[in-house]
Amino acid sequence: MHAVILAAGAGRRLWPLTAYRPKPMLPVAARPIIGHVIETATAAGVDAVTLVVGYKGDRIREYVGDGARFDVPVGYVDQEHQLGTAHAVAQAAEVVDDSFLVLNGDQIVDVEAIAAVIAAADDQTPVMAVTAVDDPIAYGVVTVEDGWVTAIEEKPTQTTSGLINAGIYGFDPSIFGVIEGLSPDVAGELSLVAAIERCVADAGVAAVATSGRWVDVTAPGDLLTVGATLHREPAIDETASVDATAVVGPGVTLAADVRVGPQAVLTGDVDVGANVTIGPQVSIEDSVIMPDTHIEPAATVATSVIGQNVRIGPATVAVGQREPAAEGAPPVVVIGDHSRIGPAALLEAPAAVGVDCEVAAGAHLRDRIGDATQVVSR
Amino acid sequence: MCGIIGYVGADTALPVLTSGLDRLSYRGYDSAGIALLDDGGLQSYRAPGKLDALRAVLPDTAAATIGMGHTRWSTHGPPTAENAHPQLDCSGEIAVVHNGVISNAAALRGELEGHTLTSETDTELIAHLLEEAQSAGGTPADQIRTVTDQLEGSYALVIAFADDGHLYAVRQQSPLVIGDGDRGRYIASDVPAFIEHTDAVRYLEDGDIAVVGAETVRILNDEGEVSRPLTRVEWDAEVAEKGGFAHYMLKEIVEQPDAMRQSLSGRTDPTTGTVRFETNLGPLARVQNVVLVGCGTSHYAAAYAAGVYEANGIAAEAVIASEFRERPHWDPAVTLIIAVTQSGETADTLTAMRAAAGQGYATMAVTNTVGSSITRLAEHAVFIRAGPEIGVAATKTFSTQVATLLVLGVALGEARGSLSRTVRRRQLEAIDGLPGQLQAMLDARGVIDEIAAMAATASNHVFIGRALGLPVAREGALKLKEISYDHAEAFPAGELKHGPLALVTDETVVYAILTPGADPERTVTNVKEVQARGATVVALGPPDRWRSLTDWGVPVEGSATTAPLLSTLALQLIAYEIAAAAGRDIDQPRNLAKSVTVE
């Protein structure tokens, strides 16, 4: 079945990590989310993919290409203005001519869940996946009777249903007519949920109950926790070089050409992107480091998400919350792409440094610094 | 400059040939043709123009399982159906496709009697000479040898005879490879033409005649039967697709951070200040003089490297390959000649290297193409590992050529003991910063696009720089003129006042390289000079350098050895955007071909 994957959104809640990349390009378990999504979809039986791209779409095109690395043909349609999820789906009207699947490019779900929707969509459309969660009111809550959807409510204050919209849909081309008939909502957008509500009132929407993994990244700190739920084996790329005196723990993933200097210590769940240099005596714990970043000697990075091509100066300390919060994402230190920090700066959660910033030696930060800011001292 | 594809096997030949021609079209595209061979003999289809014009005259399907195709870039005679290949003899039973130039064509044409020539090509002569040779008897390979013994110049040929189930492939100074697949044998000018079918290839050598059947390949040279090793090519055909981008050029610009990481992978160790190449580079310790030979963009990459080598204390000069001649001050015992060519098939560069061969120089090739002619001509080869580049305008191969040459410069400094460990470490750290800094350049796309929109209406583009900024300025001007067809020139910044300043008006955009390594303090004077004449100035460098000079600045990071190189990415994007706004054929600009295999 053909899958239309929505990957055009900006993901503003994930600033500064999304200043230069769309949310589907954020790394989870050492690869972009969109990579996990396409891999899962093909494992479930998807045999062609159309990516709806918009915000920073070139990053996705560059990574996914024509799909060769996923062994599935991938095409693209542009959603120039991001006017809602239904508007995004409508962009694919020209390229689908049979029943098709719609997935979110920034949510990782189980292979079985996608396979179940494909099987159901072979019989009837529209169909949507629902999944049971403990705290449904934060999501789109779905009421189901006898296998049919009767209501969808976004973030209700209270509910009797424990089921939420899992973001996997099966449609046929008649959905494009439904979308055309929608009026923009208060935000000026056409939402897929509104289209489904039309269908509920019309011919009905079948619900497919799914369970298992359902990974959504809504805050930078999620990048530290969701990787673990994917049960991916940590791996040291063969081109990575680790000094004999460095300590690299069992939960550490090092991508190509990472260099780890003498007496550096990497422990906990650590994902290090390609061409990252970790200097002597650096310590890193439970963090994500994106490609091309330099962490200079004796710096400490813990519970932090460090962007691409960042320079963390010598003896700089970036430390998020040490103990995981009771619920939700742990407070982390986030540093945007291309920023220069330190030497000997101290960044404590919830410090968030935008892209292209310069933070001077000895600065002490605990708050949010906008893009392209020069922090002289604090 | 032309592209050749041939197939003998179990499948119908036509789809193999048309998709092969598609992938070869970057080599030349002013006319094309296909010959199919079946029990009914040879059928030939030819058309001037792009491949779509050929498709219009081709049958939808054909049962033939043997055939060959050709995409042509004119050297002898204008692009017409008559001059397109394949060329046939009088009987219509011998078909030839050819890439190269027969230098004694006029003499041979004069000697040929009793044949009717219908084209102006040197290729048709070969078909008629083969017809002559048939009367002497012998095997087809013997007949071909008789003809090639008369030919001077460069040629890769594929020949079909109407009553023979083989294709004959001949190589002399023009590239030709043979692929062994499960479904048959493939012959092509380069591997991407058939890599969707097989990655097992044999590279022919000069003087080889290959007798290619569906199941077997026999290769003969002057001495008799020879074997050429079967090697596997690592490039995946799919990698070369456009991947959703409007043009290959944009794809190749955008993938530069990845290409750079791949190019540098495993070669640099900034902690120890050492360099590891996968192959032995010969005795670098005795090198006192480096000569870098190349054409076009590769020449500018060479000029950039020469500048860095000189700063590293080693005599170095970049020589345009077609202007190559030995210089009295080159001592063969201590001179290393480096050929810089993306394709490894650039005829001018190959000719220069042949001229240097046998004179005692150490020789090295820096190229993107494993198994290419230059790698067999030079004693040692270093690959830039940029992945396939399809857009005619070189982008990622320029940046990775420069980076590879910079790494080589550190290796030279290490071997000769002329660069201290501290300097080597500093240079390698700067080189390792390139992938991330290239991404930073891409992330400045918004600023760059605004500049391109402003510059698109200019009537004249002038690029200026000094030191390492000069080859970058030249490359910027070359990119812009190649794909936009706008007037673009580069000058050493200090030379402006000695003449070119007369070109500068209020419709001129001047691009100034103001990065470290480009002597920016002195170029600022020239910026003011052109601003006084009303020109709009686009500055590339650290923002502090240009903020007070112009509103049109591109922030560029990097060290004195890398910052000028990083500026190139912005110039590539500006050229791309200007050409795209003008609706140009960006991946295949008029009159140009990717790999220039004629002199």
What is the model's pLDDT at position B449? 96
Residue A19 sits in the same domain as residue A120: yes
pLDDT over threshold 90, residue B315: yes
Tell me if A65 and B266 make a contact (CB, 8 A cut-off): no
B2, B295, B396, B479: the active-site residue: B2
Residue A257 sits in the same domain as residue A315: yes
Q: Smallest Cβ distance to B238: which of A66, A75, A294?
A: A66
Q: Is residue B596 part of a domain?
A: no
Q: Is residue A266 part of a domain?
A: yes
Residues 241-270 of B with CB under 8 A from A: 241-245, 250-251, 254-255, 257-258, 261, 264-266, 269-270
Residue B93 sits in the same domain as residue B147: yes
Mean pLDDT of all residues in B205-233: 90
CATH number at residue B373: 3.40.50.10490
Residue B462 sits in the same domain as residue B450: yes
B251, B396, B479, B594: the active-site residue: B594
Tell me if B242 and A66 make a contact (CB, 8 A cut-off): yes
Q: How many domains does chain B have?
A: 3
Q: What is the pLDDT of residues B61-115, one digit of tens each?
A: 999 999 999 988 766 677 788 889 999 999 999 999 999 888 888 889 888 888 9
- Give the range of the structural domain holding residue A98, as residue numbers without chain letter: 2-218
Residue A192 sits in the same domain as residue A260: no
Residue B260 sits in the same domain as residue B234: no
Q: What is the pLDDT of residues A253-288, one digit of tens each?
A: 999 999 999 999 999 999 999 999 999 999 999 999
Chain A residues touching B236 at Cβ < 8 A: 68
The answer, for A53 touching chain B at a CB cutoff of 8 Å, is yes
Chain A residues touching B264 at Cβ < 8 A: 257, 275
Residue B96 sits in the same domain as residue B119: yes
DSSP string, A57-118: HHHHHHHHTTSGGGTS-EEEEE-SS---HHHHHHTTTTT--S-EEEEETTEEE-HHHHHHHH
pLDDT over threshold 60, residue B190: yes
Residue B415 sits in the same domain as residue B476: no
Q: What is the pLDDT of residues A286-320, one digit of tens each?
A: 999 999 999 999 999 999 999 999 999 999 999 99
Residue B521 sits in the same domain as residue B392: no
pLDDT over threshold 50, residue B236: no
To the query of whether residue B2 is one of the catalytic residues in this protein, the response is: yes
Residues 252-281 of A with CB under 8 A from B: 256-257, 259, 261, 274-275, 277
% chain B with pLDDT above 70: 97
Q: Is residue B598 part of a domain?
A: no
Examine the fold and report which residue of B385, B418, B441 is the final residue of a domain before the chain moves on. Answer: B441
pLDDT over threshold 50, residue A170: yes
Q: What is the pLDDT of residues A309-364, one digit of tens each?
A: 999 999 999 999 756 555 666 789 999 999 999 899 999 988 999 999 999 998 99
Q: What is the pLDDT of residues B269-295, one digit of tens each?
A: 998 999 999 888 988 999 999 999 999
Residue A117 sits in the same domain as residue A202: yes
- Tell me how far apart the alpha carbons of residues B13 and B212 are, in angstroms, rounded to a whole number: 14
What is the model's pLDDT at position B235? 52
At CB < 8 A and 24+ separation, what contacts does A369-372 make? A371/A16, A371/A19, A371/A336
- Tell me how far apart the alpha carbons of residues B66 and B7 are, in angstroms, rounded to a whole number: 6
Chain A residues touching B269 at Cβ < 8 A: 241, 259
Q: Is residue A232 part of a domain?
A: no
Token pair of B93, please? 């039973």
Interface probe for B, chosen from A34, A292, A371 (most Cβ of B below 10 Å), is A292
Minimal C-alpha gap between B480 and chain A (Å)? 22
To the query of whether residue B594 is one of the catalytic residues in this protein, the response is: yes
- Tell me how far apart the alpha carbons of residues B587 and B245 are, in angstroms, rounded to a whole number: 12
Residue A176 sits in the same domain as residue A259: no
- Give the range of the structural domain holding residue B392, as residue numbers without chain letter: 241-247+256-441
Residue A265 sits in the same domain as residue A368: yes
CATH number at residue A161: 3.90.550.10
Minimal C-alpha gap between B445 and chain A (Å)? 10
Residues 344-403 of B with CB under 8 A from A: none
Chain B residues touching A256 at Cβ < 8 A: 261, 265
Q: Is residue A59 part of a domain?
A: yes
Residue B411 sits in the same domain as residue B316: yes
Q: Is residue A228 part of a domain?
A: no
What is the model's pLDDT at position A231? 63
Residue A141 sits in the same domain as residue A280: no
What is the model's pLDDT at position B238? 40
**A-B contacts at Cβ under 8 angstroms:** 92
Tell me if B271 and A62 make a contact (CB, 8 A cut-off): no
Q: What is the pLDDT of residues A38-79, one digit of tens each?
A: 999 999 999 999 999 999 999 999 999 988 889 888 999 999
Q: How confident is the model at residue A80 (pLDDT cuts 50, 70, 90)?
A: confident
Residue A184 sits in the same domain as residue A282: no
Residue A276 sits in the same domain as residue A199: no
Q: Is residue B95 part of a domain?
A: yes
pLDDT over threshold 50, residue B185: yes
- The predicted complex's ipTM stands at 0.83
Q: What is the pLDDT of residues A94-115, one digit of tens each?
A: 888 899 999 999 999 999 999 9
Chain B residues touching A291 at Cβ < 8 A: 257, 261, 435-436, 439
pLDDT over threshold 90, residue B192: no
Q: Is residue A60 part of a domain?
A: yes
Q: Is residue A223 part of a domain?
A: no
Consecutive H or E run containing A201: helix A192-201
Q: In terms of CA atoms, which chain A residue is nearest residue B265?
A: A257
Residue B126 sits in the same domain as residue B271: no
Mean pLDDT of all residues in B525-550: 96
Residue B433 sits in the same domain as residue B448: no
Residue B70 sits in the same domain as residue B205: yes
Minimal C-alpha gap between B440 and chain A (Å)? 7
DSSP conformational letter for B205 = -
What is the model's pLDDT at position B596? 77
Q: How many domains does chain A have?
A: 2
Token pair of B358, please? 């046998």
Residue A360 sits in the same domain as residue A258: yes
Residue A138 sits in the same domain as residue A172: yes
Of A114-128, A136-150, B373-387, B393-407, highest mean pLDDT: B393-407
Q: What is the pTM of this model?
A: 0.77
CATH number at residue A321: 2.160.10.10
Residue B47 sits in the same domain as residue B149: yes
